């Protein structure tokens, strides 16, 4: 600012403010310093390895004939054209699974699941028969055996899916529960075979009538009055009694189904009872499969009078719950044991067969008599084991349903009246 000194005011010096000068030009803004270099971004770690996607469920497919399953198979087994086999894998691993569902009507035509050398639920068996309609079976392999779960009945409808992000759809109602399977017949111990009944001797011939004595002479008729005095002839001598008839010869031994036992290998069913109707006799017998060759056995300690060198034959007594007109081939084999005989070395001989034909439902059929049953090495006081089979592998066996054996008639020969 500018300072003036006023001379009129001696001894005083007064400072006054002059007129402000113009504002000076603003100095230039200093140059802004350069921005420092930004530090480099750290290296991003590599992404971890993504886990492999697990296998999804395989698609269902239809099988109508024999098939060998592989792991993860989902099979619709359609037996409408007849029974067939599904064979499980030969070398399964832990966690392997197979699903099989009914594609038609397993009750009408059974499905056979073969184990291929494995066990099912730790039970040693060659095959499993599935005969319940509307069933789904799942086989899951653990460390030692195939575990089995079974679902019966139709599956309920699937619930409506919820909108994206919305609440879960309502779960479909459960399908109706399938009908309960037929209860198996109560097992019974094998009933001992009935002892051989000696045939009744024929009635001896009646002795001839003795000679009738000659009549006395008749007096001449004349004057009626006194009766003639001729003597009556003596009664003839009575003939001697005839000799007792012989029981030597052919005899029939009835063997009922209840006295037979299903064989442990490829055996027929246990004894079954089929109800025919009110106030009617039940059908009681052993059921034999139309596909597999199944068998039962029984034994007889033969009587001392048995002619072991003679003929032994049989004929079957059987029935079938079908109106199908077709044939069944029955066969019998035998083997014999004396004292200290060995089961380990015994084998059944060649089969003797009897073929018979059905004609209507629930009829009793008496088959034709077979040829000679082979019994090698038989001797007095032997016990003979017999094996009865339905020879379903024979081309003449054409019946497509079970045949029910009621019993057989065994025919033998004897050499003497008594033992």
> Would 70 be classed as within a structural domain?
yes
Which H or E run includes 389?
strand 383-390
Q: What is the pLDDT of residue 177?
A: 61
Task: Give the per-residue pLDDT at 165.
Answer: 41
Q: What is the pLDDT of residue 3?
A: 35
Neighbour-count burial for 115-154, b at 16+ CB within 10 Å, e otherwise: bbebebeeeeeebbebbbebbbbbbbbeeebbeeeeebee
221 compared with 327, residue with greater pLDDT: 327
My answer on whether 278 and 408 are in the same domain is: yes
Instruction: Provide mean pLDDT across the span 58-62.
Output: 95
Whether 270 is covered by a domain: the verdict is: yes
Confidence of residue 6 (pLDDT cuts 50, 70, 90): very low
Question: Under a CB-based contact definition with an 8 Å cutoff, are residues 403 and 292 in contact?
Answer: no
pLDDT-derived band at 8, boundaries 50, 70, 90 = very low
Query: What percent of the chain has a predicted confidence (pLDDT) above 70?
Result: 65
Q: Quick one: 263 and 409 in the same domain?
A: yes
Please write the tens of the pLDDT for every residue from 180-201: 555 545 546 565 566 566 565 5
| Predicted confidence (pLDDT) per residue in 119-167, tens digit | 999 999 999 999 999 999 999 999 999 999 988 765 545 545 434 444 4
147/222 Cα distance (integer angstroms)? 118
Report pLDDT for 143: 93
> Does residue 364 contact residue 407 with C-beta atoms inside 8 Å?
no
pLDDT of residue 16: 34
Most confident of the following: 5-14, 18-27, 366-375: 366-375
152, 179, 204 - which closes a domain: 152
Residue numbers of the domain that contains 74:
61-152
Q: Which residue has the higher pLDDT, 260 or 30?
A: 260
Residue finishing a domain among 107, 129, 152: 152
Of residues 100 and 170, the one with the higher pLDDT is 100
Residues 254-283, mean pLDDT to the nearest whole number: 96
Count of the separate structural domains present in the chain? 2
d(CA 79, CA 105) in angstroms, rounded, equals 7
Best CA proximity match to 186, nearest among 281, 269, 276, 257: 269
């Amino acid at each position: 600012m500018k300072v003036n000194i006023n001379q009129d005011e001696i001894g005083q010096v007064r400072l006054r403010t002059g007129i402000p000068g113009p504002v000076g030009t603003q100095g230039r803004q200093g140059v802004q310093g350069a921005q420092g270099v930004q530090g480099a971004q750290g290296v991003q770690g590599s992404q971890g390895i993504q886990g492999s996607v697990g296998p999804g469920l395989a698609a269902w497919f239809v099988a109508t004939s024999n098939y060998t399953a592989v792991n993860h198979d989902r099979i619709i087994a359609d037996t409408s054209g007849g029974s067939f086999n599904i064979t499980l894998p030969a070398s399964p691993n832990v966690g392997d699974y197979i699903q099989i569902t009914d594609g038609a009507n397993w009750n009408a035509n059974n499905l056979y699941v073969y184990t291929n050398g494995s066990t099912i639920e730790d039970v040693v068996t060659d095959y499993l028969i599935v005969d319940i309609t509307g069933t789904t079976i799942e086989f899951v392999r653990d460390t030692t055996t195939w575990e089995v779960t079974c679902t019966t009945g139709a599956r309920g409808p699937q619930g409506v899916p919820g909108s994206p992000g919305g609440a879960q759809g309502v779960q479909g109602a459960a399908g109706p529960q399938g009908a309960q399977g037929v209860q198996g017949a109560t097992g019974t111990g094998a009933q001992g075979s009935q002892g051989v009944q000696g045939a009744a001797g024929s009635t001896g011939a009646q002795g001839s009538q003795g000679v009738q004595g000659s009549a006395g002479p008749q007096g001449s008729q004349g004057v009626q009055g006194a009766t003639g005095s001729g003597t009556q002839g003596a009664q003839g001598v009575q003939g001697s009694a005839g000799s007792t008839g012989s029981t030597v010869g052919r005899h029939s031994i009835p063997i009922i189904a209840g006295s037979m036992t299903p064989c442990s290998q490829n055996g027929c069913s246990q004894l079954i009872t089929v109800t025919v109707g009110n106030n009617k006799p039940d059908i009681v017998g052993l059921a034999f499969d139309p596909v597999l060759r199944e068998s039962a056995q029984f034994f007889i300690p033969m009587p001392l009078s048995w002619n072991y060198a003679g003929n032994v034959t049989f004929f079957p007594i059987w029935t079938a719950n079908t109106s199908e007109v077709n044939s069944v081939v029955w066969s019998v084999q035998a083997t014999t044991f004396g004292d200290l005989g060995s089961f380990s070395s015994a084998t059944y001989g060649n089969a003797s067969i009897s073929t018979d034909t059905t004609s209507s439902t629930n009829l009793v059929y008496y088959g034709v008599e077979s040829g000679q049953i082979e019994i090698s090495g038989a001797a007095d006081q032997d016990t003979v084991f017999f094996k009865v089979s339905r020879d379903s592998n024979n081309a003449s066996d054409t019946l497509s349903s079970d045949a029910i054996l009621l019993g057989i008639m065994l025919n033998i020969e004897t050499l003497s009246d008594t033992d």
